[in-house]
């Protein structure tokens, strides 16, 4: 079984300051991990994904995440927040499943990022 825990339901930062959104996962197999962002009234957009290559993954809009197997974590960071980053962020795990034929995504409950001027 796979699961995801997003440790903060809300994170507030000031524009120009660093962003840290925390995520821990549990997986029975070799997982792939994703971060998606959801802006109000818009669809989920993929920020970045980890698929067992480099542990430091760079995504769009200056975001990056580091896969740490020993800590079962996949935290999302950005050096400097922008007002347009305000949205809800989901950490997602995907298992290869027992027969590797398919997999499904398991989402965390989301972290709402608030950016103040």
Q: Nearer Cβ to other proteins, position 14 or 30?
A: 30
d(CA 98, CA 102): 9
- Residue ranges that bind other proteins, judged by CB under 8 A: 4, 29-32, 34, 36, 41-46, 49, 51, 90, 92, 94-97, 100-110
Q: What is the DSSP letter of 99?
A: T
Q: How far is the CB of 77 from other proteins (least distance, A)?
A: 20
C-beta of 110 vs 115, nearer to other proteins: 110
| Whole-Å CA distances, 117 to 21, 79, 80, 99, 114 | 19, 16, 12, 49, 10
Provide the 8-state DSSP code for 86.
-
* Nearer residue to other proteins within complex by CB, 101 or 117: 101
């Amino acid at each position: 079984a796979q699961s995801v825990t997003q440790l903060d339901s809300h994170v507030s930062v000031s524009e120009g300051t660093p962003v840290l959104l925390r995520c821990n996962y549990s997986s029975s197999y070799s997982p792939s991990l994703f971060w998606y962002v959801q802006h109000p009234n818009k669809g989920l957009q993929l920020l970045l994904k980890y698929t067992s290559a480099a542990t430091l993954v760079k995504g769009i809009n200056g975001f990056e995440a580091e896969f740490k197997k020993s800590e079962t974590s996949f935290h999302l960071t950005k050096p400097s927040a922008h007002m347009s980053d305000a949205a809800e962020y989901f950490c997602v795990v995907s298992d290869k499943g027992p027969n590797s034929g398919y997999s499904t995504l398991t989402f965390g409950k989301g972290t709402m990022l608030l950016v103040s001027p």
